[in-house]
Amino acid sequence: MKQIRTRKFPLEILLLLFLITWMTGCESYDEQKAKLKDTPDRGTIYVSADESFKPIIDSEVQVYVSQHPNTRIIVTYKPEAECLKDMAVDSVRMIIATRGFSKDEENFMVDSMKVAPEQMVVARDAIAVIINPKSPDSLFTMDEIRQILTGTYPKDLVPVFDNTKETSTIRFVIDSVLHGQSLTPKAKAALSSPGVIEYISRNANAIGFIGVSWIGDKDDTMQIHFLKKVKIAQLESVNIPGNYILPVQANIYLRRYPMIRDVTYILKENYKGLGHGFANFLSGEKGQLIFKRAYLVPAKQDFKVRAVRMNE
């Protein structure tokens, strides 16, 4: 009878195989544990969002949580520059701002945080120009806006922002309107977008710059209250000289309004957790409808413009 000879493995190889199996098992267990604790239907995430978008993001969160009652989405609103710094903060899983990450920022998150970030433009917003109801001027060209911002406008009009540094509105004004020119030292800083509205309502020689989501929704009771205090100025159309328009949806969608910016999310999540659930909601039909109802322009759904006759 033939004997079957068994091959003996050295003890070192057996130990190495055991360690590899044990480490792989632990990693899989941790991943499974995270997924069980955090899914699109349950869990808690922390989000840093640009203060300019507070009204609309509050609405998005409210609807998502009402449909997924075992979730908590804790949003901290701050200047955009502070939000973007949170790309380096582990506990913050999503950032909502007017721009996505750069290549250097992506490399940092991949190398240092071991996460492959995702980004998407989900809506388009506009910067509204607001004036005191007693102001004699309500129509402005972009050249006049630049003169106001640099302090060379012939009339004494003081620009007012939610801050004079680190906000998305300031960054847009300096990069896209002034093209690197210096903002006038006369510019005033309020503590928030509602603070800008209050300042304009009390000062006839002031002109404010805020996100349209704070003042464009005529169905929102808070914004109706704001519109009793200030007036939205009209800016000259990009493609129809001499035509002055408001930052309404059709003008944002057709890019006729001269100061338009994106609403972008940055997601730092390696598995399909609550962050992915909320991100999919923002870009999906329900989230896009909320943007539309808030008088922003959805970026991921079709937007139809119909001709209507307005009665004066």
**What does the H/E/C string look like for 68-86?**
CCEEEEEEEEECHHHHHHH
> Is residue 1 classed exposed, middle or buried when 0-12, 13-18 and 19+ CB atoms within 10 A define those classes?
exposed
Same-fold call for 38-124+262-298 versus 125-260: yes
CATH of domain 125-260: 3.40.190.10
Q: Tell me the mean pLDDT in the region 125-131.
A: 96
In this predicted structure, what is the pLDDT of residue 311?
A: 39
Q: How confident is the prediction for the chain on average, in pLDDT?
A: 87
Q: Which helix (H) or strand (E) holds 93?
A: strand 92-97
**pLDDT tens-digit map of 145-201:** 999 999 999 999 999 998 877 889 999 999 999 998 999 999 999 988 999 999 999
Cα–Cα dist 206/132, whole Å: 7
Given a contact cutoff of 8 angstroms between Cβ atoms, the answer to whether 226 and 194 are in contact is yes
CATH of domain 38-124+262-298: 3.40.190.10
Confidence of residue 27 (pLDDT cuts 50, 70, 90): very low
Asked whether the predicted pLDDT for residue 58 surpasses 50, the reply is yes
Confidence of residue 13 (pLDDT cuts 50, 70, 90): low
CB contact set of 16 (below 8 Å; sequence gap of 6+) = none
**Beta-strand runs (E) in 117-259:** 118-131, 139-140, 158-161, 188-189, 206-211, 231-232, 234-236, 244-245
Q: What pTM was computed for the model? A: 0.82
Q: Which amino acid is at 280?
A: N
Asked whether the predicted pLDDT for residue 35 surpasses 70, the reply is no
Q: Where are the domains of the chain?
A: 38-124+262-298, 125-260
**pLDDT tens-digit map of 84-116:** 999 999 999 999 999 999 999 999 999 999 999
Cα–Cα dist 287/123, whole Å: 10
